[in-house]
A and B are shown apart, each in its own frame.
Chain A
Amino acid sequence: MQQAELQAQRIRAAMWFLLPMIAALAFVAAYPLLRSIYFSFTDTTLTSLYTGQWVGFDNYLNWRTLPSGRTIYRGTLVDPAWWNAVWNTVRFAFVSVSIEAILGLMVALVLNANFHGRGLVRAAILIPWAIPTIVSAKMWAWMLNDQFGIVNDMLFNIGLISEKIAWTANVDTAMWAVLMVDIWKTTPFMALLCLAGLQMIPRDVYEASKIDGVHPIKVFFKITLPLVKPALMVAIIFRMLDALRIFDLVYVLTPNSAATKTMSVISRENLIEFDKFAYGSAQSTLLFLMIALFVTLYIWLGKVDLSGDKQ
């Protein structure tokens, strides 16, 4: 009896401690999310934020049959611009996160080694991550500028290119420019998470493998990689979430290029610039659903154990 009472008392105390956080989350996360989902089912515009009428799924998909008998479809789900943005985003996310994971792991392996000035290098490698995205995007925009940019200047001077390349303007290179800046910026983050994982690996496993005479490459694939996998998975999920909602970099570097327009960029465009607030809300909602779906799928498929305890 007394124990039950004690237990109930503890639960009540826990509730009180949780309450402020739940309230804060409800205020800053749940409310905006639900409101934006609600908007997507109305015909709200920016000039009439409070007078929108319920239109059901019309912003997602609607159709009507013309007098000629032909049925036409409208809505985000049949909007080629939206699917182009989806494809851009997914492509960007997969390519950037894959390259970042590989480079990050490599950097982490280097940083995990013992050498003079390691602390300094570890701090230095974080600089790209510490710079706000807007600042680094602007910086790279100038570096990639076709006429004054240092990138073209260097490539030109060492003779790798014969004429200056318009990195951000050219539809063939725009995505690569965005990818490059993102990889430059985010690899340190990956490296840091991987490094944390690497440092959890006991040193004597490596000593045992030396005595067994295991080749370093085999050591990496048989010992290091499986052991660092939980940390790497966490890092990849974090980055994937980030990459799927990429906005700032694209907005600064290649604001209106159809080759790089992502889901976030296109939904902002509809929300604000085109006065199609409800339509943009529908796209935001789809973006939210896609990210949620992706994460669920990923965790389920990879059977990722985020606690990293069990093998």
Chain B
Amino acid sequence: MNGLKITNVSKTFGKTNVLKDINVEIADGKFLILVGPSGCGKSTLLNIIAGLETATTGRIEIAGEDVISRDPKDRNIAMVFQSYALYPTMTVRGNIAFGLNIRKVPKAEQQQIVDRVAKMLRIEDLLDRKPAQLSGGQRQRVAMGRALARDPAIFLFDEPLSNLDAKLRVDMRTEIKELHQRMKTTVVYVTHDQVEAMTLGDYIAVMKDGIIQQFGTPSEIYNHPNNMFVAGFMGSPSMNFIPCQLTEVGGEVGVYLQGHTTRFFVRLSQTGKDYSRWLGKNLMFGIRPEHITDYAEQVGAQEAIPCKVDILEPTGPDTLLFITLNKVKVVCRVTPETALQHSIDKMPLYFNTAKAVLFDPASGLAI
């Protein structure tokens, strides 16, 4: 059974196309992330799923039922908002039970549900407080409790963690993941944070300008980005894009890279792709920071190249190195020990090209 099926959904405000022909389908119980920069249409899409906004064209199916002409309350959904949207005049208990109350669920059952949800979210001792007396994290739990109490076919989360501080955000992220694993309910989760997207989602839809740029599992998105936008958006620090020309040296396809002092050849045979068509063309060589590092993924595959480091940024677990290749700044990631052992003028770096991607700079698409 489908958890959610979005077919040909478009939305226009006047002459602006906010969403252009969106098609997404996920199975029941899956966790879908809508991710993208602000203004990409992800929140609008979520609101259309919720029924808070109407689509100009297209269909929405939730748990196999077409809901496009239904009111939000009849779509069997629950939503968690960015600013929590708690009812300020009601207690926590009132907030969680309000939806049940409206649905005329018997009092005893309401009580039971509230207790169960409160226990699940560990907010039992907050039940008689008003939202104004709670901290941000507590409010977020209550907002989730309100959604959980509904036991809906689908949960909709609208950037639920973006108002929390960094540490709390990580904790809550884990809790949401745990909850999902326990509840097995379909979730649509909007975020602009690619870490949340990677950690939480079963599927990720990367959006930009009202278009889904790529839809897939986190590893598909990360390792096989469709285009330069997706490649650049997912991952931190983001992927390096180095302009280059595809050449063939001794039967090996690869690119020449020019540092401050050295010029060297990087083989691309490990990607296992056929690039013969692109020989001699100017391309974008995309490689993630963790793939220019202090060890070789395949021993003997490529020798270390001494590079001059411009800037060195220790982050704790890793140290980021900034070097210059083909006149652009390139980020590399090594262990702190390596960074300390070697002179910054001659840092030995391995180029692990198994996951490198070449892009056509004209279209931005991966080759």
Contact = CB atoms under 8 A, between A and B. Distances in A.
A213 B99 contact: yes
A210 B132 contact: no
Contacts of A226: 88-89
Interface residues on B, range: 20 to 34
Nearest to A213: B73
B44 interface: no
A304 interface: no
Contacts of B102: 212-215, 218
Interface in B248-276: none
B50 A211 contact: yes
A210 B73 contact: yes
Nearest to B131: A311
Interface residues of A, number: 19
Given A223-B89, A226-B89, A311-B132, A211 B78 contact: yes
A300 B72 CA distance: 42
Contacts of B52: 207, 210-211
Given A208-B79, A212-B73, A311 B88 contact: yes
A151 B83 CA distance: 51
A209 B47 CA distance: 14
A226 B90 CA distance: 10
Interface string A200-232: 001011011111111100100011001100000
Interface in B74-123: 74, 77-79, 81-83, 85-90, 98-99, 102-103
A310 interface: yes
Q: Which of B87, B102, B130 has the most CB of A within 10 A?
A: B87
B73 to A, nearest CB: 3
Contact of B72 (A202, A210, A218): A210
Contacts of A210: 51-52, 71-73
A222 B89 contact: yes
A204 B143 CA distance: 12
Contacts of B86: 205, 208
A211 B103 contact: no
Contacts of A208: 79, 81, 85-87, 146
Nearest to B50: A211
Which of A207, A211, A222, A226 has most chain B Cβ within 10 Å? A211
A211 B74 CA distance: 8
A206 to B, nearest CB: 8
Interface string B44-57: 00010011100000
A218 B101 CA distance: 12
A227 B73 contact: no
Contacts of A214: 98, 102
Given A212-B99, A212-B102, A205 B87 contact: yes
B71 A213 contact: yes
A214 B94 CA distance: 14
A215 B83 CA distance: 22
A211 B79 contact: yes
B317 to A, nearest CB: 37
A211 B52 CA distance: 8
B73 A207 contact: no
Contacts of B79: 207-208, 211
A208 B88 CA distance: 12
Contacts of B81: 204, 207-208
B74 A213 contact: yes
Interface in A168-209: 202, 204-205, 207-209
Interface of B: 47, 50-52, 71-74, 77-79, 81-83, 85-90, 98-99, 102-103, 130-132, 146
Interface of A: 202, 204-205, 207-215, 218, 222-223, 226-227, 310-311
